[in-house]
Amino acid sequence: MATLSSAFLFIFSCFLACSISVWGRPATFLEDFRITWSDSHIKQIDEGRAIQLILDQNSGCGFASKRRYLFGRVSMKIKLIPGDSAGTVTAFYMNSDTDTVRDELDFEFLGNRTGQPYTVQTNIYAHGKGDKEQRVNLWFDPAADFHTYTIMWNHHHIVFYVDEVPIRVYKNNEAKNIPYPKFQPMGVYSTLWEADDWATRGGLEKIDWSKAPFLAYYKDFDIEGCPVPGPANCASNPRNWWEGTAYQALNAMEARRYRWVRMNHMIYDYCTDKSRYPVTPPECMAGI
């Protein structure tokens, strides 16, 4: 009996170790990131395991990863601006930092008037072509506590997650001549800034500066991917965990959650905007 118990404990500990190695270890801020804009408006807290971003009439702020990555998974826990945040945008995104043929994967959290739902806008740029906005009203108060926002990017698809719920899927359909970001490494960025010309109700709601400073909080910074520069064969290695069979398409539970979001919480989809796109864009026909 003791031998069986020991064996079970050994197997269980190995399982935990494997799970930890797969999902990685959230870093302190300065391990992976640098401040790019207005260092007086980013404060480290909890010994660098979390940060506070500040927006006031003097400045917003931003930070970026020290390295760029080609495929992988990026996640952060974010607590958004509470109360009246109309006109503000808190952004978390990946960007190739190239001008004419930019690749970019965007989370943009659009501030609201008190009592209205928070809207998250996602957008994708592939080979310099963007204008692929979708908007979802979050089904919880993202200013009341931290929630995890994740971008998964591999050779098969890009998935945006809120906690464990997929809210956006963009498939690799290069076989149908649809651009897909796979050649340019991307850095990880975040900004907090004023955008009251468009962010809330198309710019109708302006920032109330009497409510400033506006504060957002980040923690559990987790980047797993192929760093560039780095091993040349990393990005094409099928053994990378994010390229595994389990991550090549949504599983049944994820697919149900994805449909639930789209049916109950999506408020804008460029795919169905006939005023902008009289002919449905080809990537919109790809499904999940």
Write out the two tokens for 205. Answer: 């709601």
In the set 104, 194, 205, 254, the catalytic residue is 104
User: Annotated catalytic, 104?
Assistant: yes
Q: Which residues contact 159 (CB under 8 A, 6 or more apart)?
A: 150, 151, 152, 166, 168, 169, 170, 250
Q: Which residues contact 187 (CB under 8 A, 6 or more apart)?
A: 64, 65, 67, 68, 69, 94, 95, 96, 97
3-state helix, strand, coil in the chain (%, to 5): 20, 40, 40
Widest CA span in the chain: 71
DSSP 193-218: EE-TTTTTGGGTSPP-GGGPPEEEEE
In the set 108, 133, 164, 174, the catalytic residue is 108
CA distance 38 to 215: 14
User: Annotated catalytic, 108?
Assistant: yes
CA distance 272 to 217: 34
Q: Which residues contact 196 (CB under 8 A, 6 or more apart)?
A: 86, 87, 88, 203, 205, 206, 207
Q: Would you please indicate which residues are annotated as catalytic (active-site) residues?
A: 104, 108
